[in-house]
Structure 1
């Protein structure tokens, strides 16, 4: 999700069928050597079958894709680290290279690192839509209406031919994960997670606390988050922080002295409908005319605010748009694709249409979106998409706050445009052995040596006591950009 590429490019797993080298639970998993791009020495891979309908314990099966990077020392510590990826719809194994070399780089010495693609993601029977207007290969759709109902319906009809779309919820996926844990022979695990993965981690902890030693959660989302309802306030907070930081940065202020005014002037141009703008077609590298919808313009700007390294381009993009040059905007928008090809959008809708949208009321929409640049179009487009999607059931108490004695760190960025910091502020109060860390000038993609070192130190200790978090205080924005690089 960072410019120029997404934060985690998919790790290409090239399976090599060889003799079994590891077995967890009796006869359940036979991990075999496999090559993994970006990971010297590769890892150990296998699949594990679960019933799609766990309650019936019969019918269609899903082969869950498993990748283990064994500890480098012998014997390994008994408590591995399980990585839970964001989304919903992201696959853990696709993040293995960057995660193992950055977030978890020091932990592999003593701990196995475990990556499991949840049902409906990655190589675990992925629920992928052909195209719902989210790929730059279709520029008209990419800059048009969000979640066109006809394309959502076509995706549902395609996926329903093989899958029961009501059986792809977070609680069910966490039941799968615990079955895999048992099959691999681990009694207690550490969890490291980002974004939606933090919600999944909390659901797992609520269901299986006896099997969790610690959890490090980055960009915290809770079961009561009601995605995408908080996006509007979160993005507004991130944008306001950026305006303030630009105003006190001499170079940014001198280059973009009227940034805030220009931002809202561009928005006003959408009052009479979509704008006719020119962007660079990434396929041909030539200019192309497209109709740009307001809801899509602001959603792509929110994507820019996701991470600190991409947010530095916002003043430039806004100023050029004010000058009727949307080339920088289009270039950034096609590079930063939140619904990219690795995301299983079918899984995204199965999760959010069951776990979030039914709990959103009209008053909440008005209260949480009024006065924000994102407005209510994003959440209403999502609600309309869910009207095309079959809905299952989650437990009645699903959105209730989670209480736990498990040691946890909740790490949030002050300028997070997706999971605003006040979500973690409220959640941590119910975790007496937890610690809240808020990083200044930081977006949703909390990355870098400070985060990595804190995660590793915490998981090694299994406790927040005596943890030195002073490195967070030095977090700064990178210089604002004056041109695309």
Structure 2
């Protein structure tokens, strides 16, 4: 998935064991929609006066307007999650499309992990998952490992269409094709035709089940969370979104600000800029951060000089003359064929900033005729069986195709690539990293555009923590200062040497988040001083 957190490296926290989500496209309505009954409006105050969720979850069912919370079993997850053993759970039933009176209802899985403290704070934290298309309940381990439930309950709800929701708009056929595509030329027209065919097949299947695919978007999801807060009897809570979840958080705090005490956004994707051009500038920023760190480390710079120039040259050479190799991949009895062209290398690199220590060595081996190291990583990520049938492509395309592509022309997308990587061939620049074939996929997904207001900047005085990583090549760190321009009480933090979603990899980011929840207008950031780059691998 375009903006899903990818494999983590061993640094300041232990490695996450969740598989990277299978890619959607190669990997991310205000005035016209009725306000959900029971949802409140206003502006967060930075104070906390709510009732703890401990008194809300596990009691009788509660109906608020068109939404109903029902206590019950915990939502399903692809694998058991220990952190959910003590959770109080249930489902939230909401309208699929709030503009259709008496229309279909859908259910969203809810889990509340209790605070570790004996006397929890009264304002819980609600977690907004990445993707688009990841299930928040499945990210419980990430939230709890980061200490988010230190003294507050953590509320996790599956966004509409995700794994533990009903319906779950999953497309395992697309996931399987994306795995097979490691053996195809990445940007070839023939590859595109096969990918779009898989997308259309899933679209037709979901539509045939009666799904209103146009109802899976940020506006409906934001209303779902507004309804959840009221249905649980919570007067005020804190919002924490990662990756795509920051996109949703910025829409949510703009459309339903009442009841939000503070907002943390990590790996920031502004709705006003989301699209291919931003994907290119983010890739440039993350790559440059990693290359600069190598250049500043004497051993790395001596062994791998001019790493940026090497990477740019390899993209051009591989696009002109793709390299084919075979590698062994865990769980596969036979060797796997892998084709590396310029587009595949760019997409590998966008993911590989999560395992930055090995990137210089991997690029050097490729430059000297040894592609196996990169090919093995690329195939391993794409063919991981844990990534099959877990991502909601229906939600992802609902957002991409109604909120992104209608408001970004092909020319603008191409210019974004040319500005970021002027030396890349046009065939590479035609497909932004993580968003391969997006425009043609959206043609067959065929949902109406969202109102243009969905692209508005968010203006708010809700205290906001804007977190970014210096190696983030998926949502560049420049997005933090950008969104802060219209958030009057924002604290912008760039954690150096970290990839996309710093909360998952950096103890410092976790400490800053904890202090922000304690004092949303004055978080402590002293741990940033003295952070050091990774020790890059030096090959023979």
Q: What TM-score, normalized to structure 2?
A: 0.79
Q: Map of 1:221-370 to 2, 5 A cutoff? A: 221-257=269-305, 259-272=307-320, 274-284=322-332, 286-305=334-353, 307=354, 310-337=355-382, 340-341=387-388, 342-370=390-418
Q: Which residue of 1 aligns with 2:465?
A: 409
Unaligned runs of 5+ in 1: 11-19
Match of 1:421 among 477, 481, 484: 477
In the superposition, relative to structure 1, how do residues 213 and 347 fare at CA in structure 2: closer, same or farther (>3 Å)? same
TM-aligned CA deviation for residue 76 of structure 1: 4.4
Q: Does 1:218 align with 2:218?
A: no
- How far apart are the structure 2 equivalents of 1:243 and 1:409? 27
Q: Please name the residue that 1:51 is paired with.
A: 95
Q: CA deviation at 1:58?
A: 2.4
Cα separation, 2, equivalents of 1:179 and 1:369:
40
Is 2:507 the partner of 1:449? yes
Contact 1:129–1:345 (Cα < 8 Å) also in 2: yes
The equivalences for 1:72-151 within 5 A come to 72=116, 76-106=120-150, 109=151, 111-124=152-165, 125-132=167-174, 138=180, 140=182, 144-145=186-187, 148-151=195-198
Q: How far does the alpha carbon of each residue in 1:164-211 deviate from its partner, in whole angstroms, 9 at most, with x for none? A: 211100111111111121111112110011111011111111111111
Say whether the 8 Å CA contact 1:82–1:192 is kept in structure 2. Answer: yes
Query: Which residue is equivalent to 2:18?
Result: 9
- Alignment equivalent of 2:69, drawn from 29, 36, 43: 29
Determine the structure 2 residue equivalent to 1:13: none
Contact 1:143–1:290 (Cα < 8 Å) also in 2: no
Once the two structures are TM-superposed, the CA of residue 435 in structure 1 deviates from its matched residue by 1.0
Q: Counterparts of 2:118 and 2:497 in 1: how far apart (Å)?
A: 41
Q: For the Cα contact (< 8 Å) 2:319–2:341, is it kept in 1?
A: no
Which region of structure 1 is more displaced relative to structure 2, 431-440 or 400-409? 431-440
- Which of residues 178, 192, 201 in structure 1 aligns to 2:249? 201
User: For residue 157 of structure 1, what is the aligned residue in structure 2?
Assistant: 204
Cα distance change, pair 71–261 in 1 and its aligned pair in 2 (3 A): closer
- Contact (CA 8 Å) 1:8, 1:98: kept in 2 or not? no
CA–CA distance in structure 2, aligned partners of residues 219 and 402 of structure 1 = 16
> 1-side partners of 2:292 and 2:182: how far apart?
34
Shift of 1:133: 5.6
State the shift of 1:61 in Å. 2.0
Task: Measure the CA separation in 1 of the matches of 2:185 and 2:120.
Answer: 50
Q: 1:57 Cα deviation (Å)?
A: 3.2
* Structure 2 partner of 1:17: none
Preserved contact between residue 88 and residue 347 of structure 1 (Cα < 8 Å): yes
Answering whether residue 114 of structure 2 is matched by residue 70 of structure 1, we say: yes
TM-score, structure 1 as length reference: 0.88
Residue 369 of structure 1: how far off its partner (Å) = 0.5
Q: Distance in 2 between matches of 1:3 and 1:86?
A: 15
Q: How many angstroms apart in 2 are the aligned matches of 1:454 and 1:24?
A: 36
- Partners of 1:284 and 1:395 in 2: CA distance: 46
Task: Name the SS of the counterpart of 1:138 in structure 2.
Answer: helix
Question: Aligned with 2:101: secondary structure?
Answer: coil
Question: CA 1:376–1:404 in 2, change beyond 3 Å: closer, same or farther?
Answer: same
Return 341-350 or 82-91, whichever deviates more: 341-350
**Aligned with 2:173: secondary structure?**
coil
Q: Quick check: 2:286–2:474 contact (8 Å CA) kept in 1? A: no
Instruction: Name the counterpart of 1:15.
Output: none
CA distance 1:302–1:83, change in 2 (3 Å) = same
Kindly indicate whether the alpha-carbon contact (under 8 Å) linking 2:183 and 2:337 is maintained by their aligned counterparts in 1.
no
Which moved further from structure 2: 263-272 or 471-480?
263-272
Contact 1:50 1:63 in 2 (8 A): yes
- Give the conservation status (yes or no) of the 8 Å contact 2:469–2:498: yes
Answer yes or no: is the 8 Å Cα contact 2:110–2:156 preserved in 1. Answer: yes
Seen in structure 2, the aligned counterparts of structure 1 residues 94 and 40 have a Cα distance that, compared at 3 Å, is closer
Quick check: 1:413–1:441 contact (8 Å CA) kept in 2? yes
Aligned partner (choices 168, 171, 190) of residue 216 of structure 2: 168
Q: After superposition, what is the alpha-carbon deviation per residue over 1:126-185, rounded to whole angstroms, capped at 9, x for unaligned? A: 211123266675354677447621111112112211212111001111111111211111
The CA deviation at 1:33 is: 6.4
Choose which of 443, 459, 463 in structure 1 pairs with 2:517.
459
Counterparts of residues 386-405 of structure 1 (less than 5 Å):
386-405=442-461
Q: Distance in 2 between matches of 1:334 and 1:475?
A: 32
The Cα shift of 1:470 comes to: 1.5
Q: Secondary structure at the match of 1:290?
A: strand
Alpha carbons of 1:455 and 1:63: their partners in 2 closer, same or farther (altered >3 Å)? same
Q: CA–CA distance in 2 between the matches of 1:314 and 1:391?
A: 39
- The secondary structure found in structure 2 opposite 1:229 is helix
Answer whether contact 2:265 2:465 (CA < 8 A) is retained.
Answer: yes
- Is the 1:226–1:357 contact (alpha carbons within 8 Å) kept by the matching residues of 2? no
Rate the CA distance shift 1:40–1:208 in 2: closer, same or farther, 3 A: closer
Matches of 2:163 and 2:347 in 1, distance apart?
25
C-alpha separation in 1, matches of 2:94 and 2:539? 50
Work out the number of aligned pairs and report it.
467
Q: Contact 2:182–2:379 at 8 Å: present in 1 too? A: no
